[in-house]
Amino acid sequence: MKIDIVTIFPEFFRGPLDHGIIRRAQETGLATIEVHDLRAFAHDRHKTVDDRPFGGGEGMVLKPEPIFECIEELKVAPREGRSEFRESVVLLSAQGKRFDQSVANELAALERIVLICGRYEGVDERVGRYLADRELSIGDYVLSGGELGAAVILDCVTRLIPGAVGNQASTQQESFTTFSLQPGNGPSSTCASGGLLDYPHYTRPADFRGMGVPEVLASGNHEEIRRWRRRTALEKTLRNRPDLLDEAALSDEDKKLLAQITGKNL
């Protein structure tokens, strides 16, 4: 996969690109990631990329010309039909559609994504309307720039590229993941979240400062462990993110477990 990032702060990405899974994905050739300095596409000697907003008001707005010229130089497919080339140009924006695990999966299936980072009061609207094919927000809050958002998307998407994570099954068994595994093949197949939060994890020591580990996890009884994990995933989802239960793929067993947890029949 090819990932291009367009920013006025290219140095910002030194940390995110140089560690862990993203670094390994680049080293092994699974991902080619390039950071492009938007100021290189400015034409005046001050490298100006922003200007005052039409209509007046606070702050400055990123100009369209450098962004269009940068994307043109990257030779991205034209906006119409871009999806056929399995490419996407993403504008980071607080006004965008919310980025979540299903959008991450969608992006990870492409061959190329370009992430445009806004700054100041934002980006000239023509970039979102005529150049990018989607606007994405990483959450309902306002950041000072799109770089953190781009780093979040970069991380989520890169770890979904087949081969990027040592044990690929682990990316199919996490919080929010709707991919569903058949139960009954031992503990490793118990945790496809079906859109729930992940179940609690424990490791050694079994006794840490008097805090123990649930006995069932040391029982060796795979079916018991599976049920415990499913039950605790449901409990945690109910406690922290009850909204996820509306969309989750709940089995009859899940519904019974939820009824036990809540004391209500569902």
Binding mask 78-97 for ligand SAM (x = CB under 6 A): --------------xxxx--
Q: Which residue is nearest to ligand SAM (CB)?
A: 118
Question: Is residue 139 at the binding interface for ligand SAM, with CB under 6 A as the rule?
Answer: yes
| Residue 32 CA from chain centroid, whole number | 18
Q: Comparing C-alpha atoms, which of 48, 40, 32, 111 is closest to residue 69?
A: 40
Question: Is residue 195 at the binding interface for ligand SAM, with CB under 6 A as the rule?
Answer: no
CA distances from 191 to 53, 62, 138 (A): 50, 45, 26
Total residues contacting ligand SAM (rule CB under 6 A)?
20
**Which one of 143, 181, 213, 261 is in contact with ligand SAM (CB under 6 A)?**
143
Q: Comparing C-alpha atoms, which of 160, 226, 166 is closest to residue 199?
A: 226
Question: Is residue 138 at the binding interface for ligand SAM, with CB under 6 A as the rule?
Answer: yes
Residue count of the chain: 266
Segment contacting ligand SAM by CB under 6 A, of 63-71, 143-151, 192-200, 221-229: 143-151
3-state secondary structure 226-256: HHHHHHHHHHHHHHHCCHHHHHCCCCHHHHH
Tell the smallest beta-carbon distance from residue 232 to ligand SAM (Å).
31
Question: Is residue 229 at the binding interface for ligand SAM, with CB under 6 A as the rule?
Answer: no
Q: Comparing C-alpha atoms, which of 68, 66, 113 is closest to residue 89?
A: 113
Binding positions for ligand SAM, rule: CB under 6 A: 92-95, 117-119, 121-123, 137-139, 141-146, 149
